[in-house]
Structure 1
Amino acid sequence: MSVMIILIIVSLFVASGFLVAFIWAVKSGQFDDASTPSYRMLWDDATTQKKINKQSSNHKQKSNGN
């Protein structure tokens, strides 16, 4: 029975630690913008595709110039 009391006390400390970490994250602004990260994936893909197209066109120009 004493093991159960120890486990309950330990679990309360762990839970309070997670609560403190969550409150700290909210106050530091970790959850301010929830929608932009999902769109950023799409924006990065378009930017990456433009870079790939530029590199391939530069490569074609160099190979045609030789």
Structure 2
Amino acid sequence: MSLVPFLLAKVASQPGLMQDDGLHPRAAGEPLVLDTVWPVLQPLLGQLPHRASALRDLHVGITPEQAQSSHQ
């Protein structure tokens, strides 16, 4: 079992990266949330079937169309 660290660890203490509700990150904070969770999720995605590769592709900026054409 893998545990994901506190998702907002890198943004919660920076008001400019949080929405006014204090619970949700602004768009500028989302990459920092991804940086927190991706090291835990990435190894797990390799253990999943086909749909996990789509998530990996999205993370590195490959569109579904590009991924489809590379698999043909």
TM-score relative to the length of structure 2? 0.25
Q: TM-score, normalised by structure 1?
A: 0.26
Larger Rg: 1
For CA contacts below 8 A with separation 6 or more, give which structure has more relative contact order.
2
